[in-house]
Amino acid sequence: MQVTRTEILKLYKNLMLYSKSLTFTDPAYFRRRVATEFRNNKFLTNAKDISFAYQYEYLSVNLINFRKEKLCCVEVQLCKMLLNPLCRLHVGIASRVCAAFKHTIDYSKVPKINESDLSEQFVRGSGPGGSAVNKNANCVVLTHIPTGHVIKCHTSRCQDENRKRAREMLVAKLDEELNGEDSVTAQKRRLESNKFKKTEYKKKKMAQLKSEWKKREGLA
């Protein structure tokens, strides 16, 4: 497989662009890792070594696309058409990732809020806690101007924690309103339901086997 300079530069650009969409990984750290990998392979001259290094990074991009767009099955089929042993290794990894993804939460549709769309007020709280609660404006009242949703949060005595929690509650509310059954809350509810059903099934199955064993042994 002959890899051109243009293909390598395109791959590098795609990885750098992907770093901007990272949420749970430090984008700067990701970019440094990519730059280091490309720098280490910069002086490769053997065609097989170049092809090997290119396909390694290329398949990494394919797995990234799978996580973002759920296109893993298509990428796996393409990988199976290649003869490179490295690719066959990644097919196994991708297949396991596909299976694991069925039990994970998809955060790709979660809406983002702009601070310019928010109106925030701090009021005195109520309830147990003494003066730390009743005399300090720790309670956060957050209004989302475009939709008119109002979130009131006083789960902590710390104002900063309440502000953070209020935004999380607003995002969850908007997510449920916009995405319905695809919202994070609905997905978690389905996963919990499936987990509960599996647990109940195992209990019933075990009770049935125990009952049958007692009958066979004449203990019932």
pLDDT tens string, the chain, 220 residues long: the values are 566 767 777 777 887 888 888 776 788 888 888 788 777 776 666 666 556 555 555 555 555 444 444 444 444 444 444 444 444 444 454 455 444 445 578 888 899 999 999 999 998 876 665 565 666 788 899 999 999 999 999 888 888 999 999 999 999 999 999 999 999 999 999 999 998 999 999 999 999 998 888 888 887 6
- Predicted TM-score (pTM) of this structure: 0.49
Amino acid at 207: A
Do 171 and 192 have their domain in common? no
Tell me the residue range of the domain where 148 lies: 115-180
Do 87 and 19 have their domain in common? yes
Do 23 and 93 have their domain in common? yes
Do 23 and 97 have their domain in common? yes
Tokens of 62: 């394919």
Residue 206 lies in a domain: yes
Do 64 and 15 have their domain in common? yes
Residue 108 lies in a domain: no
Residues counted in the chain: 220
Do 19 and 96 have their domain in common? yes
- What's the number of domains the chain is made of? 3
Residue 106 lies in a domain: no
